[in-house]
Structure formats: C-alpha cells, structure tokens
Structure 1
Amino acid sequence: MSTGPATGIAVVGCGYVADYYRQCFPLHPGLRLVGVWDRDAERLGVYSRYWSDRAYRALDEALSDREVAIVVNLTTPESHAEVTAQAIAAGKHVYSEKPLGMTTAEAERMRDAARAAGVRLSTAPCNVLGESAQTAWAAVRRGDVGRVALAYAELDDGMIHRTDYKSWLSVSGRPWPARNEFETGCTFEHAGYAITVFAAMFGPVRRVTSFSSLLIPDKRTEPPLPHPAPDFSVGCLEFDGGVVARITNSIVAPYDHRMRIIGEDGTLEMKEPWDYASPVRLRKSQQGRLGRMLERRFGAGFAASTLPPLRKIALRRGRGRPTMDFARGVAELAEAVRDGRRCRLDEDFAVHVTEVTEMLQHPERFARPAVVRSTFAPIAPMDWAT
C-alpha cells in the first residue's frame, strides 16, 4: 500500500447515494475530495452547504481541475456513459456507480475509450472488497466447504412501491429516486452485488440462462411510469471452473438477501451483502440419520457456526448511516493508480458484470443460453485477507 499524497477526487452527481459516499470518504486518508457538481443547481447548493464542500460552477470546471485525478460518477444510470465519456476525454480516471452502461455495448465503448486515453476505469458495487465477502472467500480458499459446486443469491427487496418510500431521505435531504429505480430495474440495480462476489471467487461467467418479467406494471407512481423495467429476474450462471450459481432479483418477493456457497463438505451463508459486517455462517454437511432429521426439523441453520471476521469494519453505525463502505472502490482505484498495479475492479471486470447483468434483465436480447463474450484476469483478495 502506497503512502504518498492523497488522490484528488471530484463527485459528479449529488443525489441520494452521494451522501453515503460522502459519509465514507473520511475512512480513506488516501482520498481528498476537491469539489462536487450536480446539474441541478438547487440540489448542488443543498449538498455542498450541508457537507461544506466546494461546488463547481459547471461540469467543465470539475473536469479541467488539475487537482482532480479521479471523477466519481454518481449521476443517474442513464447518464453514466455520457458523463464517464466526458471525464475520460478530459484525461481523468473514473469510478462510476453501477451500471457502467445500460448495455454491454455502452460499457465496452467506455472501456475502449479509457484504454485509448491511458486512464483507468472502475465501477461499483465494491462489496466484494468488504469484510464479509472477503471472510467468505478466504473460507472457500481454505477449503472449509470442500469443492464448491453451487451458489445461490437472493436479492429480493419486497414490494417497495407499497412502502412509504417517499419518506426515505438521505442525510442532506435528498429523496430516494423511486421513478429512476423502477425504470432502471432491480436487476441492473442489485445483481452486481452477487455477480461481483461470485465472479471474484469462481472466475468469469461463460453462459447465462435467464428469465425476467414485469409482474406489477403499476408501481403507484404519479404520473404512471412510461417504461417500467422487469421487477423479477432469475438466472443460472455457469462459471469457468464449473461452479453454477442461481441469482434471483425482485421487488415483489419478501425481503431476502441471503447468499449461499455450497460445497461438497458444507455451506457458507451471508445474510446481507450490503452489510460489510454481516456474519458468515459455516454449516458442515449432515450425513448421519440423526443430523439429517434435526436439519429437516430446525432448518438449514442447524449446527452452523459463525466464522471470525478477518478484521473489524470501521464504519460508524446508526440511523441514516451506511452499512457498507461505498468509498472503498474509489480508494482501491486510487491506490492502484498510485502503485501502478491493476485495479481489482478494473474495466474488464466492469464490462463483464454489465454483460451478465444485461443477460439477466433482458434475456430476449440474447441467444439461450447466452454465451458471455467478455472476460477478466483473476482478482486478488484484499491484502489483509490473504
């Protein structure tokens, strides 16, 4: 890990998620926030005053600031590619919120543009760098569950359109962007939290067999949504090493974020991939008759033990505070640039996650099963996890 001068960053997009990033920046002394910008002048003013941050007068001012090495693109998903392209053209490295693009073709254009410009490109989500995911990955490498054959991820969020989401405000007062979330789709919003973890552990995805549907078109918005995205998807992913994973996304089924990694000798389970402190539970396979009977009676959690976390997360807990370090991906990119090494969440990995996600949300665009064209080099665990 390098200890040179802090890397200057600029935030573009001061919406709901920007507050979570802002709360996490102080966890990383290697990052220095230079300024912020949003196309909504009123929102920019509220955000910059709340955090006492410098507000740029225009996007061009942010992109031409020589103190800025990395642009953190937190704009709406449909704006990601446009803003990222402008930042790349200005010679800036970019860390973008997910997705990198709304299509694989968009993501590939961003990757190729970054390489041509000699800059780095990385995207969220960064939960694979978190303590919980790294603890589970270390258990896989140790062989705690034997040879891994199967993985499950449930990313069900319940019927959000029937909740009081209009009262969901970030700490600086920004409402949760319901319309944008419903039109982007829960798969594009959430699948990456599972894909990144499984791909880091098992390598590139080679084939995807998926199904998606819009089950509840009327999300009770006013006015009605012109283009609501599928609110349910399920897909089977076949990885290079032979592991198969099933990923389910919905904003219909009750809240369930379990991730399970199933090996010949046992199962690992994480309850919440959005919580870096989520415990990792290990349950050895029950082979005796009594063990099988107890498992059937008391459920899959029977005889499970909690693995000690590899380290304690530094986040402060409390209402309105994030349970994951949103800035860790930005810090990883900054460190990779300073050290002259490959970023763990580099542009190849970002394109791969985007391609698999598009196959899950829009299977009609691809052959069945869909063959994944993109790939990436093996990802190294965090230094403190080896």
Structure 2
Amino acid sequence: MTEQTGIAIVGCGYIADSYRHCLKLHESDLRLVGLFDRDAVRLRAHAEYWGGRVYSSIDDMLADDAAQIIINLTDPENHAEVTRAALLAGKHVYSEKPVAMTRAEAIALRDLAAEKGLRLAAAPCNILGESAQTLWKAVRSGAIGAPRLVYAELDDGMIHRTNYREWKNRSGKAWPARGEFETGCTFEHAGYVLTVLCAMFGPVRRVTAFSALLVANKMTDPPLPNPAPDFSVGLIEFDGGIVARVTNSIVAPYNHRLQVIGDEGRLEIREAWDYACPVKWRGVSQNRLARFLERRVQGIGSGKTVPMVRQPAMRPGRGEPTMDFARGIVELARAARDNRPSRLDGDFAVHIAEVTEMLQHPDRYERPGLVQSSFAPLAPMDWAQ
C-alpha cells in the first residue's frame, strides 16, 4: 500500500474548493490533516462543506508533525510570507501560482528550501495533465518535424463586464474580483502555457514583452487603487531558435488556443485548462487546394486527433473541474518519498515566476530581457513515455 503524505491547507478561498474536489482522486497518496484561514467565517464555511480538522492558528498548523506538506492557497501577495514561515517550520511547500510576486522573492524562497533540506514546488501543474503530455509526446516523436513557432493565447474576455459578482464556489466563497484585477491576468494565467512550453523546449533565454492597462475602470465599488495590466504580449525565445508569442488579457474575447508549429505541420489545443482537451494535428498546406481550404477552414476540429496517452480521470461533464489541481501535490509528495527530483521543483518555479514577471512588468527589465534563472530538463510522466 502506498504511504500517505500528510498535507495541510492554508487559505480557504475560492480556489481551495477546486483542490478539495480533486483530493478524492489521490487518497492513496495524500491525507488531509487540517485547514487554516485567517478569516474565521471563510474557514468555517469551507470546513462545514468539505470537512476537515480546523487549526486555531497558523502556528498551530505549522507545529503539527502530521502536516508534512503545506498547501499555500493564500492570496498571491501573501504567498512568499506564508511559504517562508512554512519552510522555517521545517515543512515542504506546494504553493499556488505564482510562487512569489518577484524574481528576488522566488529565489529567496528556493534558496531557503535548499538550505533547510526541504522541497518547494508551485502551481500550475497542467504539464502533468493528459492533454499536455500528449502534446509533448507528439512533439518529441517528430509529428511536426522541427518545432519553430508557438502561438499561445490566454484571453478571458471582458471579465469586468460579466456577472462575476454572482460567481461563488461550492462552499459559498465569492470569486475574488478585486484581488484578481490587482494581481493581474498575466500573473494569474501565464503559467498555464509557460510550464508546458518550458517542459517541451527547456529554459527561456530571452523575453521581449509589452503590457498595458487598457481598461482602468473595472466597475468595482470602491474603485481599484492599483489595477494591474490587463493585457500583455511577449515574445519568448528558447534554444534552437524556437520562438513563442504568449498573449494574456481580460479584454479580448475568450481564447485559450495553443499552437505549436513545425516544419511538417502544427499541433493545436483549444483549451489549455482542460486535461482532456483533444490534441489536433494539421499538416503544412503545400498546394493551391490545401491553401484554399486553410483560408476557409480555420477551425481546430478539421485536424486529425492525436491519440491521448491515457484517459483523464476528471469528468467535467459531471460537474468536476477540467484540471486536476492536486496532481502537483502528488508529484511533490512522491518525489520527497522516493528521494528524487520533483518535476515542479524550486528551480522550475523560480523560472516560471521570473518569466511571468517579465511579461507583466517589462519595465523592470532590460529589453529584450535576458532570463537569469534555469532548471534541469523535465522528464515526461511515466505513463506518457
């Protein structure tokens, strides 16, 4: 029988419900030992809906020997402080994205974890999902020849014009609009494609980015004092001349399409947030008829479906999330148990945080910005070899 790793969750806000929903898929690996949130009402509502022991304080949680990994689901601006406290208490940490809001903070946390002999990892973990692993395997197998170019969109539509005030999770927590608008869509979303691209192509070498606040008035009451950029676009350069254009916005219509373009065709995913999303292959249009059809038929559905490496466990049609948020925690727990590197280790988390900061705040870096951090090559999942 697999040894269970004890985990404790700090932060019972909107995203915590998604994690709790996915924990049931990993009961052989993970055992939830407790919960804490500084908001007593939010903590009680979460515990009443999902169950779980409630800690009286964060110190109480950090003093619990049964809690081997702390799951940091606090607000992004609190990630660094809470993670630091957990590391100082001798706990491994899995943090929601970003691991920190600046490169310097991320490096300090990684170095502290190494100094203490602890593990640090961070979301997102969608590179561990079936759709991303299928895409990666197709690239490795040469399905499109040499990869050259990536187009990645993470546009979410005009969120501030939607009925987001009515969005609530199962335990009754409202979607944290003010925090999302002040953290910024790039910090919130870029990691979903950066993790996949970095796994496939290695560390980012240079970033040329632009960001802007296009709609300052997000119709909040009271108005936001420090709204973040709601649009960013970056050109990301990898070794071998591979270039990716990554766009994030909460202004343009919803589009989460990812295209990897090579000499012999392209691979496409319509939804980067769905572990079960089909991967489509389309060849290069080399004659007049093929080019005519390409101009007329732009839809991803016209391509050939790449066989999925395995069937995902998630069943979103039955109300489940389209992503298994707990898979990154399992990866960290198994890596610590087996004394092997984690696929989402501290170096990888630092790298994703640095590139994300360069996309959202290009003014903090030279242009084009040389990326300082790096990481060891990631291994595909065993079931996707």
Q: Normalising by structure 1, what TM-score?
A: 0.98
Shift of 1:146: 0.3
Worse-superposed segment, 237-246 or 205-214: 237-246
Alignment of 1:40-119 (within 5 A): 40-119=39-118
Shift of 1:321: 2.8
SS where residue 276 of structure 1 aligns?
coil
Is 1:362–2:361 an aligned residue pair? yes
Distance 1:281 1:249 in 2: 23
Match of 1:185 in 2: 184
Q: Write the deviation string for residues 27-66 of structure 1: whole angstroms up to 9, x where unpaired.
A: 1120010111000011111111111211111101111111
Match of 1:238 in 2: 237
Shift of 1:301: 4.0
Match of 1:15 in 2: 13
Unmatched segments (≥5 aa) in structure 2: none
Match of 1:321 in 2: 320
2:87 maps to a residue whose letter is I
Q: Write the deviation string for residues 244-286 of structure 1: whole angstroms up to 9, x where unpaired.
A: 0000000000000000000000000001111100110000111
Distance 2:173 2:318 in 1: 15
Match of 2:264 in 1: 265
Match of 2:126 in 1: 127
Q: Which runs of 4+ in 1 moved over 6 A?
A: none
Distance 1:111 1:232 in 2: 29
Worse-superposed segment, 210-219 or 51-60: 51-60
Seen in structure 2, the aligned counterparts of structure 1 residues 302 and 25 have a Cα distance that, compared at 3 Å, is closer
Match of 2:331 in 1: 332
Match of 1:156 in 2: 155
Match of 1:349 in 2: 348
Q: Is the 8 A contact 1:171 1:320 kept in 2?
A: no
Alignment of 1:131-150 (within 5 A): 131-150=130-149
Q: Is the 8 A contact 1:156 1:250 kept in 2?
A: yes
Q: Is the 8 A contact 1:294 1:302 kept in 2?
A: no
Worse-superposed segment, 251-260 or 294-303: 294-303
Match of 1:379 in 2: 378
Match of 1:204 in 2: 203
SS where residue 134 of structure 1 aligns?
helix
1:306 maps to a residue whose letter is T
1:50 maps to a residue whose letter is Y
SS where residue 122 of structure 1 aligns?
strand
Q: Is the 8 A contact 2:211 2:233 kept in 1?
A: yes
Distance 1:127 1:311 in 2: 15
Q: Is the 8 A contact 1:234 1:249 kept in 2?
A: yes
Seen in structure 2, the aligned counterparts of structure 1 residues 318 and 173 have a Cα distance that, compared at 3 Å, is farther
Q: Is the 8 A contact 2:268 2:300 kept in 1?
A: no
2:264 maps to a residue whose letter is D
Q: Normalising by structure 2, what TM-score?
A: 0.98
Distance 1:219 1:27 in 2: 37
Distance 1:301 1:96 in 2: 34
1:296 maps to a residue whose letter is R
